[in-house]
Structure 1
Amino acid sequence: MKKHLFFLTTIIFLAISCTGQKGDSEVITDAYNNYQIAVSSKNIDEMVSYISEETIAYYNNIVEKAKFSDSVNLSMQPPIDKTLILYLRQTMSSSSLEKYSGKELMYFTLSKGLNVKNRLPITELKKINLNGNEATAEFLVDGVDSGNQIKFKKEGKNWKIDISSTYNLTANNQFRQNLYQSGLSENVFIKYMVTNMSGSEMNDSIWHKTIK
């Protein structure tokens, strides 16, 4: 009788435990909402805790290109990547750039994004599609379907946000819209952006600058 009672108690305990565990979709939603709270409170360290290793790898790649890409390789990069690369070359000495890391660049771009004067948009996940340790989600911006997706990656037991995937798509699309409206060539518009971001006239020689 005691054995049966112990067995029954164990089954009930396991059932309660399983019921209390959150599914991946709910965990992803929680991670995204917590990231948004960190954005609202401008807590960059907290934001970074929800960001995937793939995002950090993206920024590492930008820094490496800033150090070593020649003008031919640079010309083949997406416009936003070109702008970041040229901004780093414009504002940093070769010795400083050589020591610079992708994580430092990520912190810089996140802080720049938080310092915008306009109200930050309210975003929320609409539909989550799971595929093993990866997931994509459609999202709304101020209640309107953005038409874009954001990627998530499971790292260990935690789901992290790959902000570089959405950033690349939306930022490059916005760049092309602004470029069209400006009537300028792409390189001239990038020079204009780098000049405004850095506060000094962009030196054309940085298209060719590399660390050897």
Structure 2
Amino acid sequence: MIIEVKEVSKSYDGKKVLDNFSLHIESEHSYIITGDSGAGKTTLLRLILGLEKPDEGKVGLLGDYKYPYIVSGTVFQEDRLVESLDAVTNCTMVSKKIFRETVTEELLKLLSEEDIRKPVRDLDEGKRRLVCIARACCIPNDVLIMDEPFKGMDEKTRQKAISFVRDKQGSGPLVIATGYTEGLEFGRIIELKTEG
């Protein structure tokens, strides 16, 4: 599978965030999108996901792909968790194809038994991000797309999370947007430049 980002430009309020940007995202490859704040990392992910449309250029699927869309396991920049529910419920509620037993097993690779049973509002930022990562990886998906998935984590937790994501990537592509690339050298580093 190839997701083609072809000569894409996007502006907000007259400020160009992406300018004639192209990228081929292929199966079994990892892409680390980096750059300063405002360089267009989140915008690029939103364009790939189809949540926004480019002003110019196009984003689409290439090759013999039977469906007109992709299923993405996604970590958004914000957590998008239901605060009053525990980690297991937050992960299972996004798809009918996810089972509590499977999710529990996966979450225990990242968090303690106690942490996965308490409301997510009681978890610190790093642990909340671990829940978001597990949720994205548990969804049957064609591609993993993650926006700042490791924020709020200490180095040990970050390395554990990176290993988990790489293990769950399978044969699909992985796209991570982050300002901090330490430990992500396995992927192709693509630096976006801030305009002006």
Which protein shows a greater Rg?
Answer: 1
Q: What's the TM-score once normalised by structure 2's chain length?
A: 0.24
Q: What's the TM-score once normalised by structure 1's chain length?
A: 0.23
Higher strand share: 2
Higher helix share: 1
